[in-house]
Amino acid sequence: MNSLVDPFICDWQPVHYLFFSENIWGNFIYYSHFFPALAGLVIALFVFFSAKKSKPAQALLFTVVMFAIWSLLDLILWASDNSDIIVFVWSTLIYFEIFVYLGSFYFLYSYFNEKFPNLYYEACFYILFIPLFLFGHTNLNLSGFDFTNCDREALEGPLWQSYIYFAEFSILILIVVTIIIELFRRRMKNSEVLIVSLGIIFFLISFSIGNILGSLETDWEIGQIGLFGMPVFVTILAYTIIKFKAFKIKVLATEVLMTGLMILIISLFFVRTIENSRIIAGITLLLFSALGFLLIKSVRKEVKQREQIEQLAVGLERANDRLQELDKQKSEFVSIASHQLRSPLTAIRGYAAMMRDGSYGQLPETAIIPLDRIHDSAKLMASSIEDFLSVSRIESGQMKYELADFNLREQAEHIVDDLRAEALKAGLVLSYKSNLTSQGFVHADIGKTQQILHNLINNSLKYTLKGTVTVFVHENLTLKKLYVEIIDTGIGMSKETIDTLFAKFTRAKNANSVNIKGTGLGLFVAREMARAMQGDITAHSTGDGQGSHFILELPLVR
Amino acid sequence: MKINTSYFLRYIFILSVIFSITLMYYVFVVKKQYTVFTNPEGPVMFTDNEDLEI
């Protein structure tokens, strides 16, 4: 196709495959256009395929693709001998320059906000392009082709001379405002905001430096060196996405960084023509390759270890959830089973008592003893079931407490009176003491408190073979606490036993020596209930055979 | 059918860019409608363009 300008007049060389021509002196222009575009694309594609849903990765890919198209079109300008093509390609470049700026803004915005700008922003950007749609094909874009001294250059019109700077400057202002807003919002670390912001600003400076210098110096070749900065800043941006947005691809980040830098070093081989520089570049490349290999290896190892730890943590969490679920199911099972057992036991106890009392006629003497045993065993079993039920309620958080003020001193005295006969039967002395100055009112659940006291005093009676059990009530007015101490002269406990005494299903090691039956739940239930009422139970003993000392404390009201 | 305004605008925008570039191709390459600036005697290699004729 013949162009409007005859290329033979100026001895312009023919072009092959759009890009290759002797019109380009030296290899510098090829490397300044091919390598940055290629390196940038490799990095952006790497990141994009690692995190396709990441908005910043999408924006980065768009920006780099626009930059790559721009580079190739610019290379056509350098190579072409056809004025028609030069004017056409030069006129289209205006779109891609603004796209690179716009893409950079989208990258930054989506990086900070995890989404793209809204419709209003987009509408403003579309308005920015209206003059290009309307006048892109007129002499307001390019006023013509400069054929005065064989330079193969288009003459730029107002769109190129003024409007593009206005558009790019507007976007740059928007970028700066976005950065400032983000710094004030303090959602991210300042260092992260600064890295990504400087990355994008240097990316744009690197991109535009050629045009600025070209316009000022009319030497378009010097400015092309800025394009080499592009993959470096693309690498920085890619790194920020990977480091701060997608932690799992740290290895990829290192590889991307290494690839970008390696492409840069290799490109030095072709740009530098001095032999010494090539040797230095060669040594640098060797060192860099070795260190890069080690770095990637160590990062890969670190990531693998972390992944293993994460997997273990997930496994543990699942096991923990499963255990909690099983524990809950166990509590439910115990609750249901205990309820089912309690009803027939009540009947057994009731009928045994009635038969014993002669409600069904006089029974022979030989039947009385077995009936007593039936009654006592059923009572023991009912007590055990009550403990199971209490544990089940405590663990499922369904234990209800009706808190009210009541006189604990009186309650303790009544319980001691109730149990005195049982103590006498066992040959023990059960006594009550008090040195209260207050009325002895506490704020607690009266039923639960009675249950606790019964449990503690009964325990002392069971584990004391001879001697006394003393219930001593006193208070601490400063701490506003009321204490009920149960002091016995029983079998006592070692320190190890005391440490585990309040755990579930735990009984004193020497409990079997006194032939006491029990589930090991009584003290656990008692302490849980005391703690739920803002109180506590503690156990003390100086050792085996030295007697025991239990203290129930509850909040004193008056 | 509900039209997503954002996608619709983006679609129109991309079409406009493609149309605009096609128009540039048509005007500059097919129709060759651009001005060539040169000296009265034709281009001079590596000289200042003092006698620029418009």
Cβ separation B24–A136 shorter than 8 A = yes
How large is the average pLDDT for residues A461-472? Answer: 88
Task: Give the DSSP per-residue string, A330-351.
Answer: HHHHHHHHHHHHHHHHHHHHHH
Q: Across chain A, what does the average pLDDT equal?
A: 83
Distance from chain centroid for Cα A396:
28
- Gap between the Cα atoms of A326 and A460, Å rounded: 35
pLDDT score of A518:
67
Cα distance between residue A369 and residue A375, in whole Å: 10
Whole-model pTM?
0.53
Nearest C-alpha in B relative to A82: B29
Find the residue in B nearest to A87 (Cα): B28
Please give, rounded to a whole number of angstroms, the shortest distance from the CA of A96 to a CA of chain B. 10
- Tokens at residue A552, please? 């129930």
Q: Which residue has the tokens 């056409």?
A: A88
Higher per-residue pLDDT: A259 or A197: A197
Nearest CA in chain A to B12: A126
The reported pLDDT for the residue numbered A502 is 82
Q: Using a CB-CB distance cutoff of 8 angstroms, which residues of chain A are in contact with residue B39?
A: 148
User: pLDDT confidence of A513, banded at 50, 70, 90?
Assistant: low
Looking at residue A219, what is its pLDDT?
A: 63
pLDDT given at position A220: 63
Residues 3-42 of B with CB under 8 A from A: 5-6, 9-10, 13, 16-17, 19-21, 23-29, 32, 34-39, 42
Residue A62: what pLDDT?
A: 94
A501: confidence class by pLDDT, cuts 50, 70, 90: confident
pLDDT at residue B48, as a whole number: 46
pLDDT tens by residue, A145-175: 988 888 888 888 999 888 998 999 999 999 9
| β-bridge mates for residue A486, sequence order | A471, A550
Report pLDDT digits (tens) over A365-402. Answer: 888 888 888 888 888 788 777 777 788 778 777 788 88
Per the CB < 8 A criterion, the answer to whether A254 and A262 are in contact is no
C-alpha–C-alpha distance, residues A225 and A202, integer Å: 14
Residues of A with CB below 8 A from B14's CB?
none
Percent of chain B beyond pLDDT 90? 39
Q: Who's near A285: CB < 8 A, 6+ residues apart? A: A262, A265, A266
For helices A250-271 and A28-50, the axis angle rounded to 10 degrees is 170
- Check CB contact under 8 Å for B34 and A123: no
Does the CB of A12 have a partner CB in chain B at under 8 Å?
A: no
| pLDDT the model gives residue A275 | 63
* B11: closest CA of chain A, how far (Å): 11
CB contact under 8 A, B36 and A4: yes
Of the candidates B10, B37, B49, which has its C-beta nearest A145's C-beta? B37
Give A411-460 as a DSSP string: HHHHHHHHHHHHHHHTTEEEEEEE--SS--EEEEEHHHHHHHHHHHHHHH
Instruction: For residues A5-18, give the mean pLDDT.
Output: 83
The label of the residue with tokens 């239930």 reads A525
Share of chain A above pLDDT 90, in %: 18
> At residue A494, what is the residue type?
S
**Searching chain B, which residue's CA lies closest to the CA of residue A144?**
B35
Q: What is the pLDDT of residues A61-92, one digit of tens each?
A: 999 999 999 989 988 988 898 999 999 999 99
What pLDDT sits at residue A57? 87
- Give residue B27's pLDDT: 94
- What's residue A247's pLDDT? 45
pLDDT score recorded for residue A43: 78
In chain A, the percentage of residues whose pLDDT exceeds 70 is 89
Considering only A249-258, A442-451, A452-461, which range has the smallest mean pLDDT?
A249-258
